[in-house]
Amino acid sequence: MASSAAVSAPLAAPSSKIETNSSHPSQNFSIRGAGGGGVRLANLGDQEENACPTAVVQSRSDLDKGIAVYFRPKEPRHQEIVESSSLNINFYLDYYECANLTVWKVDNYPKPPKHNTISTAAKLGNPLDVNSWFQIKSLGGSTYKLVFCPYGEKFTCQNVGIAEENGYNRLVLAENAKAFVFIKHGGIGKAVA
């Protein structure tokens, strides 16, 4: 975990630190969206029953904090997470069996299906794995959107939104961005309801 970066407050200007609801830097926190709870993993039926879940979804319950995540900047010398910098998003799981299935990626990129879904199984910190690089952009105050930026340039970024899939709110690439906040997560490696 030493190579992951902290997220701290306050938000002031473009390329500024990302604001959380904590006055202390924290590398582990929940990503929560309006109209639902935290972001977590789910098995949407396209996997074996006992397989590790890999679909990234937003809980429908406002009380569900989701699973803790941490960010890893693409640029190793960066120690803080700032807006518009490329980063990996990694679930913090205590489950050894699923440890290699925690880094977010866009499925089937660059093929243009109906919608590109977000799942896990990318390689942490691999600059050549273009389907795993995201950025955080301010929507004002402590609200942000996540964008997929495979090459780091602003013109290639696509919003992360929500689509209904098998009864879940699945994270997907979308025209309309989903608003998120970052909340310090006390239950490291566990889904906290």
Of 59, 58, 27, the residue nearest 160 (C-alpha) = 58
Provide block-wise average pLDDT over 10 residues at a time, the chain (193 residues). Answer: 35 45 51 87 76 92 90 81 89 86 91 82 92 93 92 83 93 94 66 37
Does the reported pTM lie above 0.85? no
Residue 33, SS3 per DSSP: strand
Taken in order of first residue, the domains within the chain and their CATH numbers are 28-184 (2.80.10.50)
Of 2, 9, 184, the residue nearest 81 (C-alpha) = 9
Q: How far is CA 163 from CA 44, 57, 191, in A?
A: 13, 9, 22
Q: How many CB atoms are located within 10 Å of the residue 117 CB? A: 21
